[in-house]
Structure 1
Amino acid sequence: MTSQPPSSPLPSLRDLRRLTPARVGLGRAGSSLPTRALLDFTLDHARARDAVHSAFDSARLAAELAALGLASSEVASRARGRHDYLVRPDLGRQLDPASRDALARIGGACDLVLVIGDGLSPTAVNARAVDVVRALLPRLAEAHIGLGAAVVATGARVALGDEIGVLLGARMVLVLIGERPGLSAPASLGAYLTYGPRPGLTDAERNCVSNIHAAGISNDEAAFKIAWLLRESFARQLSGVALKDDSGLQAPDLPRRLDAT
């Protein structure tokens, strides 16, 4: 008889916890959670709340964009304060009258408008947005995509970029915005691309590069994906569900994670 090789042990919950930040196998103390698990949850929940309510440093972002050679306009949505922003999402999708008039005076036509908005995590935007733009600019130049204008928007939802794009005559709008914080990722940045922006579009007509954060997609990888999507979107004159992200088939050897700073 031939001996069978010993079977490998089944993965344990401890092995699973090493692979994911999700809360699995927390254990229990009586009918409740262990103290350590409860304290960790409370801390992560507090960090997520802090990210939502953190201050948006629009002036610093505008100054850092200027250092990259990008003059920017500062605008605001119709949401008056963070409370309005959270309870009235529709107000975050519309420019206030003063901002609309200011952009209308600029007018013109261009290939691409960049919008940096606070979204649901100003913390993420303050920390990541300019670094992503810095990594993106040479890729835009290589693809011969002209960046016509940059806008820093307070109280912004993703769809605010549609109105901005129309006012600035943009063929395409790129919105970098703070994503909804999670318990394991309170400071995640998202990038939304829309070809032919105009008010009333849905998310089905956008492409998104999400999870740009310390334990997610790196700045360089995000810039590569964004540039690929922009190039393909211009070539095909569309965006959204009709444009599949196949950038991974051409991706160079890029770091997958950001420094935890």
Structure 2
Amino acid sequence: MGREILAELRKNFAGRMFKTVVNFNTRLKEAASLGQPICEYDPASRGHKDFQCLAQELIATDTIIEQKSAVQLTAEKAATVKQIVEPAVAKQNIASSASSGQALPATAKQTIVAAANKQTEKTQVRKEIVQVLDDNLDLISTSAQELLASLKDQAKAKEKTAVIKPIEAKKDIDSKLNDFYGVRQFDKSVRFVTLYPRAKSVQIAGDFNNWQPQQTALTPSKDGKWELALELAPGKYRYRMVVDGQWQQDPYNGNVEANPYGEYNSILEVK
């Protein structure tokens, strides 16, 4: 049913719809319930990838709108210049008609006057055209430069979109998050740092505390961070985060292994 509705919407509103589809994903619900962005809660999830594609499509749409606005502005400036130049050109056409004997007044007197002043009028009209173009040279130059810059920006945007791949963007986000959150070893001490802005309690259960989370509660700090430092002997440890009583893997530790309950334990190796 959902696919039929989507097909019907695309049939009737193809030009007003985005191509990206955000699929159903439980990780999105979990992130929302904990008050975390999906890019922090689970950057590797399908939901994060869908919203990343949607963001890229929105950026591309804004670029196209800006280009259309630049072209429209250039056209308006060109129309302004045309309105200024056309009267001068019309005067030149009148002078040319007078010199060729076309559309002249019926009286001989007017013909003689037109013939006598034709050279003066043609010279004056040329001077006016030159003066108009000279006065509006900056406007014409600016319009041309804006149009050229818009085309260059469009080419650069296409190149950038073609080069940047979703997996590279994901790695960049992961590396930034890992600089602030996760688990780190400093000499004999292991420090856990995570982000749960709306959580009331954050604990850790693992091999090092016999899976008793109440023994190792993290301490809250500013901006929703939670921290804990433990001294652990060298070895490999499995652990899970317990956030307000809900057990889950560490969202900032990509080293995991499956457990007997169909979920994942985070892995920590102390050297």
Higher relative contact order (CA 8 A, sep 6+): 1
After TM superposition, the score normalised by the length of structure 2 is 0.19
**Computing the radius of gyration over CA atoms, which structure comes out larger, 1 or 2?**
2
Which TM-score applies when normalising by structure 1? 0.19
Please state which structure has a larger fraction of its residues in helix.
2
